[in-house]
Amino acid sequence: MKITCSNQSQFKDHEITDETVFNQRRKLLKQMGFLGAGSLLSSPSQANILDLFSSDKPQNKPAAVMQNLSFIKDKAARDELTPEAKVTSYNNFYEFGTSKTDPAQNAHALTLNPWNLSINGLCHKPFELGYEDLFNKYALEERIYRMRCVEAWSMVIPWIGIPLATLLKQADPKSNAQYVAFETLKRPEEMIGQQSRLVGGGINYPYVEGLTIEEAMHPLTLIAVGLYDKALPAQNGAPVRLVVPWKYGFKSIKSIVNIKLVDKEPPTTWNLSAPSEYGFYANVNPAVSHPRWSQAQERRITQGGLFSQQYIKTLPFNGYGKEVAHLYKGMDLTKYF
C-alpha cells in the first residue's frame, strides 16, 4: 500500500476536545493508572483513535484531575500509528547504549520513582515536581505526533502529556528569559552509557537540550509522561520527556530533571558533539541535507511485521509548518539549521 504525503495541518482549534472525547479519554487514563486505578489498557493500537469518537457512559470518576483534557487528532491518511511494540523497542537513548535495541534492554535499571523535576532559572516562581505530580497535578492531553529522527527514520506516536507552556506559565518567566535549557538525569550507576564513552556513544553527559522561549511556549510542545495510554516505558524517556514534533528527534530530550529559563542560547548535546552536523534549531527540513545523507525522505516504521517500513517524502517542519513556520520568519534556515 502506498502512503502519500500530506501538507495538511494537524493542529486546529476546532479539533480540541468535545465532551465525548473528554469522557472517553478520562476512561482510558483511569485504566492506564493515571487516575489511580491499577490496570493497563490492552493494546489500543489503531482502534483507539476511532474509539475516541464513540459514546461513553458517564462513570464515577475521581474528581478534578482531567478537567481540561483535550485531544488533538492527527488526521492525515499516511499517519497510521506506529505499533506500540516498535515504538518501545526501536529507540535512541544513548545513556543505555547506542544500538536501537539497547534502551529496551537496559533502561529497566532506571529508578523512576522517586523523581524530581525542577523548573527554575529566570522566573518569579520556581517549583519542583515529584513523580506523582507528573501524573496528577495537571490536565493530561493525548497528542498523536509524527516523530522524525535526524537519521531519517520516523514514527507516529500517541503521546500523553502536559503542554510545556503550562509549566512555564506556572513558573512565571521574567522578561529576560529568552531560552529554555533542559537536562537529563545523570546517574551512571543506573545508566550504563554514562559509565564508558564507548557504551555511551562518546557524548558528554548529562544530555542537554534547549529551545527558544517562543518554541517552548508553542502549544505543540509537549512534556510527555505517557504513550499508548500508559506511563512512558523507561526506554522512551520515563518518567518525563520533551516532545517537539517539528524538530529532529534529538531535541526531544528524555528523562528530564531540570528545566531552566535562561537569557542565552543554551548548549545542546549533539551540537557540542558535532557542530557542523547538528545545529541548535534542528527543524525538520528536507531541503537541508545532513553532511553525510539527504533529509529529503524518511523511512516510516509502519504497522505489519517486524521490518515493515515505507519510504516517504519528508515534509518541511515535519508537516507542522502551518503551525510553526512563523517562528522562523526571515531566518535563513540553511544557516540556522
Ligand X SMILES: Nc1nc2c(c(=O)[nH]1)N[C@H]1C(S)=C(S)[C@@H](COP(=O)(O)O)O[C@H]1N2
Binding site for Mo ion (CB under 5 A): 92, 149, 249-250
Q: How far apart are CA 244 and CA 221, in angstroms?
A: 5
| Among the listed residues 24, 70, 91, 194, the single contact to ligand X using CB under 6 A | 91
Residue 109 three-state SS: helix
Does 246 sit near ligand X (CB under 6 A)?
A: no
Q: Which is nearer to Mo ion, 71 or 248 (CB)?
A: 248
CB of 16 vs ligand X, minimal distance in Å: 24
Select the binding partner of residue 328 from ligand X, Mo ion, none (C-beta < 5 to 8 A, by kind): none
CB of 249 vs Mo ion, minimal distance in Å: 4
| Contacting ligand X within 116-155 (CB under 6 A) | 147, 149
Q: Are 237 and 224 in contact (CB under 8 A)?
A: yes
Q: Which is nearer to Mo ion, 250 or 317 (CB)?
A: 250
| Among the listed residues 144, 167, 253, 259, the single contact to ligand X using CB under 6 A | 253
Select the binding partner of residue 207 from ligand X, Mo ion, none (C-beta < 5 to 8 A, by kind): ligand X
Exposure class string for 81-114: b at 16+ Cβ within 10 A, else e: bbbbebbbbbbbbbbbbbeeebbbebbeebebee
Residue 226 cell numbers, joined: 505517557
**Cα separation values, 147 from 135, 220, 245, 284, 285, Å:** 23, 13, 6, 10, 13
Q: What pairs with residue 128 in β-bridges?
A: 118
Select the binding partner of residue 95 from Mo ion, ligand X, none (C-beta < 5 to 8 A, by kind): ligand X
Does 184 sit near ligand X (CB under 6 A)?
A: yes
Select the binding partner of residue 48 from ligand X, Mo ion, none (C-beta < 5 to 8 A, by kind): none
Q: Choose one: 31-39, 73-81, 87-95, 127-135; the region binding ligand X (CB under 6 A).
A: 87-95
Does 92 sit near ligand X (CB under 6 A)?
A: yes
Beta strands in the chain (DSSP E): 71-72, 116-121, 127-130, 141-148, 153-163, 179-184, 208-212, 222-227, 230-231, 241-243, 256-262, 297-301, 309-313
Q: Which is nearer to ligand X, 135 or 205 (CB)?
A: 205
CB of 26 vs ligand X, minimal distance in Å: 25
Helices (H), the chain: 19-31, 47-51, 84-87, 102-106, 131-136, 164-171, 213-217, 269-273, 321-324
Burial class of residue 67 in the structure, from the number of CB atoms within 10 Å of its CB (0-12 exposed, 13-18 middle, 19+ buried): exposed
Select the binding partner of residue 142 from Mo ion, ligand X, none (C-beta < 5 to 8 A, by kind): none
CB of 20 vs ligand X, minimal distance in Å: 29
Q: Which residues bind ligand X (CB under 6 A)?
A: 91-95, 147, 149, 184, 207, 236-237, 249-250, 252-255
